[in-house]
Amino acid sequence: MNSPGRTLLERLKSDIVLVAEGYVFELERRGYLKAGPFVPEVVLEHPDAVKQLHKEFLRAGSEVVVACTYYGHRAKLKAIGQEDRLERLNISALKIAAEAAADFDALVAGNLSNTWEYDPEVSNSASAVRAIFDEQVGWAVQENADFVIAETFGHLGEGRLALQSIKAGGLPAVITFSPATGASCDGYEWEDACKILQDEGADVVGLNCGNGPATMLPYLEKIRQKTDGHIAGLPVPYRTTEEQPCFQKLSLPEAGTSFPISLEPFLLTRYDMADFATTVRDLGINYIGICCGAGPHHVRAMAEALGRTTRASKYSPDMSLHPIFGDKDTRQKHVECLLGPVNE
């Protein structure tokens, strides 16, 4: 194991585990990853950028470093003509994650994603997807990952293949769906899909990505009622609604669809994400996090809302020292000349 401290399951038995994800969006914003394919070539081309982002999330309070292998599987690399880099990319991502975690009491997770190759109506689809998962799990085992996250599934069937692969590798499994609609593509309500995976041996089940907090919460409530194990909730930090329930559907009248690279008008504040963290904690969700669009400021606010002090908490806001929002004397001395009389 990479972590010298408690295992994932030991932590979950007694406390909440906070997890920052969504690396590909943040690395794209920083100019290190191409939107569209979202393949994490950055692992090989700019490894220091990946390690820096890991450390920023760890300083903010994340307890898990997720290897940057989302969309780093064989089918995605083949699609961009880079299949020969597959093994090197995956092993490098796991090593970078372990190096970042070394200075923190953090766990290292291997990462599987939806493949876009799974089709239950195609006879060899399941075996092809299982092979994709098996090689990535094999590298996670080789590099001593603490557990494996398999995420963003729309089909229960694909989630089952990921679970089978992780179990065969002997590592704890976190399996999460991305609910664009009220049911999986193969016809299961999300709470039923999670119950099936839990019964088949998943250590943590739940939801990630797709929904913002407002539209993910109703599903999490049903999953919590249906299952009795560890539950994951990792929304995107965007203002989704009943009319636009997932961030792929967010749009502005004058601009059209905002996903994936014009989502800024819908971005939630750090306080919104802090509210989500405490709300799902009170529901009994104990694997809490944030997905695509996450920034370290979101993670720090979530950690502090859960009663934690992080390395980045030294720099948490203190508006009492601000020249506009500070004490009366400060406001009168420095601000009235610019803003006029300040209301008490």
pLDDT of residue 255: 82
pLDDT of residue 73: 98
Residue from 100, 19, 8, 70 nearest 273 by CA: 19
Residue from 174, 187, 89 nearest 139 by CA: 89
Cα–Cα distance between 166 and 172 in angstroms, integer? 7
Cα–Cα distance between 77 and 89 in angstroms, integer? 10
Whether residue 339 is predicted with pLDDT greater than 70 in this model: the reply is no
pLDDT of residue 57: 98
Whether residue 341 is predicted with pLDDT greater than 80 in this model: the reply is no
C-alpha of 69 from chain center:
12
- Whether the pTM exceeds 0.85: the reply is yes
Lookup result for tokens 């989704």: 240
Tokens of residue 113, six digits: 């994603």
C-alpha of 17 from chain center:
12
Cα–Cα distance between 162 and 305 in angstroms, integer? 33
pLDDT of residue 221: 98
CA distances, 93 to each of 6, 40, 65 (Å):
22, 9, 10
Cα–Cα distance between 175 and 153 in angstroms, integer? 8
Per-residue confidence band for 326, with pLDDT thresholds at 50, 70 and 90: confident
Whether residue 325 is predicted with pLDDT greater than 80 in this model: the reply is no
Tokens of residue 126, six digits: 């399941």
The mean of the pLDDT values for the chain is: 95
CATH class of 9-309: alpha beta
Cα–Cα distance between 69 and 252 in angstroms, integer? 32
Per-residue confidence band for 336, with pLDDT thresholds at 50, 70 and 90: low
SS3 state at 172: coil
Whether residue 107 is predicted with pLDDT greater than 80 in this model: the reply is yes
Whether residue 343 is predicted with pLDDT greater than 70 in this model: the reply is no
What is the total residue count of the chain?
A: 344
Lookup result for tokens 């766990």: 107
pLDDT tens sequence across 258-288: 999 999 999 999 999 999 999 999 999 999 9
Whether residue 85 is predicted with pLDDT greater than 80 in this model: the reply is yes
pLDDT tens sequence across 164-198: 999 999 999 999 999 989 999 999 999 999 999 99
Per-residue confidence band for 116, with pLDDT thresholds at 50, 70 and 90: very high
Any alpha helices (H) in the chain, and if so which ranges?
Answer: 8-14, 23-29, 42-45, 47-60, 74-79, 86-101, 125-142, 156-169, 190-199, 213-226, 270-283, 296-305, 328-334, 336-339
DSSP letter assigned to residue 255: T
* Mean pLDDT to the nearest integer, 108-129: 97
- The torsion angle over the Cα atoms of residues 298, 7, 107 and 192, rounded to 10 degrees, is -60
What percentage of the chain has pLDDT greater than the value 70?
94
Question: Any idea where the domains of the chain sit in the sequence?
Answer: 9-309, 319-344
Per-residue confidence band for 322, with pLDDT thresholds at 50, 70 and 90: confident
Cα–Cα distance between 246 and 343 in angstroms, integer? 41
pLDDT of residue 160: 98
Cα–Cα distance between 193 and 195 in angstroms, integer? 5
pLDDT of residue 323: 77
pLDDT of residue 331: 64
Sequence-separated (6 or more) residues with CB below 8 Å from residue 155: 118, 120, 184, 185, 186
Contact 57, 103 (CB under 8 A): no
pLDDT tens sequence across 14-26: 999 999 999 999 9
DSSP letter assigned to residue 264: G
pLDDT of residue 5: 73
